[in-house]
Amino acid sequence: MVFRKLPGVSASGMGLRLSQKFVFLLFLSGLVTLCFGALFFLPDSVRLKRIFLSKTESQPVTVGSENDVREHLKKGAKDPEHLRGITSAKGETSTKLKALSRKPSVTNEAKTDKKVAGGEALEDMTLSRSKTDSASKDEKVTSSSNQGANTDTSFDYNKFKKCLLKPPLGIEHGKPSDPQTLQRREKVKEMMKFAWDNYKSFAWGRNELRPLTRNGHIGNMFGGLRGASIVDSLDTLYIMGLMDEYNDAKEWVETSLDLNSNGEASLFEVNIRYVGGLLSAYYLTGEEMFKRKVMVLGEKLLPAFNTPTGIPRGVINLGSGTSWSWGWASAGSSILAEFGTLHLEFVHLSELSNNGIYTEKVMNIRKLLNKIEKPHGLYPNFLSPVSGNWVQHHVSIGGLGDSFYEYLIKSYLMSDKTDEEAKKMYYSALEAIEANLVQKSPGGLTYMAEWRGGILDHKMGHLACFSGGMVVIGADDGAPEKRQHYLDLAAEITHTCHESYSRSATKLGPEAFRFDGGAEATATRLSDRYYILRPEVIESYMYMWRLTHDPKYREWGWEAVEALEQHCRVEAGFSGIRDVYAQTVSHDNMQQSFFLSETLKYLYLLFSDDDLLPLEDWVFNTEAHPLPVVRKRCLQGEGGTHDKTTSE
Ligand code: DMJ
């Protein structure tokens, strides 16, 4: 191209004068800044944004960090290796391997108010231990959303302590008098210390430890939040008396848990692990910092409820408040086990903040569930947050349904047995489950099948094994003529789950086991054979022990300890395994945060006296974080019910 010489314009630099060049450069740099800045306002899905603002860590090959199909599905989509032996327990994966579906109907009222700066998002990508400034900054944030969920700091912790019937840590931290049990408990404590020390050495501040490669895993479930293993471990370390470790964890939460993240989080996961973990740390220790943190985080979850029905969507951007449904969930639906597993934590958020908004949100979910017609009295797993109707008639006590049922009975127990509605819903749901799903195998094993529009799938997931514990904690409050029946049912289910362990070569149970084609509590598909350090079977042993004191539950728990030691302990932590039927195990290189929060905590409680976190005062959320029974009358009145005969 030929540039013509214009009069008055110098020949150098394309014929521009110095002042003209300066103006041109100024304009150009303004344009570049504008374009780059605009990137931060694009939706997360836009490719350009991903390129320019991409996270610093690539996703490792792991078994999912979450409870079931969800994480597996998402990872599987990106990572074919992940699918080898580790696909969804549901066998319903292949056609649904998609990323999140971004629904145009998303409501995003919080967006305008929140100052979600790309700078903060970028800052969160780096993992430094010197994040004191940004971490404490979020505690100073007052109300940033338009939901008006401000923190009222007037909660009286001393009064709360007086309203407990017993000291949380019992006499001597629940130390058992019998030497063998004590020795076993010490072993579990050593396992916790080993898991923790390795996490600290190799993955500090990351979400989970990858023990074979000795590094950290961040994953994509927590929307940029970090330190899942730290928050999940706080209460376990505290009740085990691992105080140096607890203090390190506390310090990290105080200085480095940055809540100003701007990523896509699972509402369910953030709630059960972070909200649950911080709440129990506060209730156990009285550290105000935990309360401040959890109130900031709780408020960030509220925009997920801005849907036509108030049923929250599964995924929320913690910075902008935008929410989506999981791409793999049918027709933009929300998942029963996700929106049905918020009640306990949200009631406590209201308690601590003296702001009813959290309780309102979860009571609204309950109201809708109560109103809607239920096929055969059952609750299907998928519900549209737009129409409020069921999307598919798939019912399961395992993945996708599980903790919804758990939270019904626990809501009743946590309300000091005043929440009659939760009680009614729980026992009628259990009746429907018994009528439609509970089966007896030819070999006499009781199991909970899955239900697809009236057709039974004779399969039980490891996740469904929590139900032994659930049925036994609710046995006493059922109709008097059914109490023994519930105790028997709980014992039978727990027995079946134990069988799924004892019928494997490793004495650890598979992800899912079947009762058809000649199978009895064994996995028939290669893809169901993995064990990812899940707690549910041990959780049921713990509750069965507490409520029956039958010594076999402690023996079964010990069998699990030995199997974990033999097959899952590696040089730098604990790892899941890919095939419980193979004598020579293949490790999945992941120490799940729920191993520290649940599996080891339940084992420790199993070998402790019942006065360590007594069930009269505490319910465990679905991630095993203890939350106190709310004694409204005591909290609002003068009295305290503390048993003065026992020491702190
Ligand atoms: C945990 O995160 C919780 O127990 C959840 O309810 C189900 N899955 C995992 C452990 O398996």
pLDDT in tens, 445-486: 999 999 998 899 999 999 999 999 999 999 999 999 999 999
| Residue 637: predicted pLDDT | 84
Q: Which residues of 114-128 are buried (b: 16+ CB within 10 A; e: fewer)?
A: bebebebbebbbebe
CB 404 within 8 A of CB 379: yes
Nearest residue (CA) to ligand 1, atom 7: 67
Q: Which of 272, 537, 540, 601 to mutate to test the pocket of ligand 1 (most atoms within 8 A of CB)?
A: 272
Per residue in 127-151, pLDDT tens?
222 333 345 455 543 333 334 455 5
Known binding residues are 622
Tell me if 520 CB under 6 Å of ligand 1.
Answer: no
Angle subtended by helix axes 467-474 and 402-414, to nearest 10: 30
| Residue 128: predicted pLDDT | 29
Tell me if 593 CB under 6 Å of ligand 1.
Answer: no
| Residue 352: predicted pLDDT | 98
Known binding residues for Ca(2+) are 622
CA-CA-CA-CA dihedral for 647, 248, 283, 303, to nearest 10: -170
Q: Does the pTM of the predicted model rise above 0.85?
A: no
Locate 246 and state its tokens: 């607890």
| Residue 453: predicted pLDDT | 87
Per residue in 284-330, pLDDT tens?
999 999 999 999 999 999 999 999 999 999 999 999 999 999 999 98
Tell me if 208 CB under 6 Å of ligand 1.
Answer: no
Tell me if 407 CB under 6 Å of ligand 1.
Answer: no
| Residue 34: predicted pLDDT | 53
Spatial separation of the C-alpha atoms in residues 350 and 416, rounded to whole Å:
16
Nearest residue (CA) to ligand 1, atom 2: 67
Spatial separation of the C-alpha atoms in residues 203 and 201, rounded to whole Å:
6
Tell me if 504 CB under 6 Å of ligand 1.
Answer: no
Query: Is the dihedral angle over the CA atoms 110, 67, 460, 543 positive or is it negative?
Result: negative
| Residue 95: predicted pLDDT | 25
Spatial separation of the C-alpha atoms in residues 154 and 352, rounded to whole Å:
8
Residues of the chain with pLDDT under 70: 1-153, 638-648
Read off φ and ψ for residue 374, nearest 5 degrees: -115, 125
| Residue 554: predicted pLDDT | 98
| Residue 331: predicted pLDDT | 87
Looking at the DSSP bridge assignments, the partners of residue 94 are none
* Atom in ligand 1 nearest the alpha carbon of residue 532: 11
* Atom in ligand 1 nearest the alpha carbon of residue 67: 8
Cα–Cα nearest to 597, from 68, 317, 199: 199
| Residue 140: predicted pLDDT | 44
Spatial separation of the C-alpha atoms in residues 17 and 409, rounded to whole Å:
79
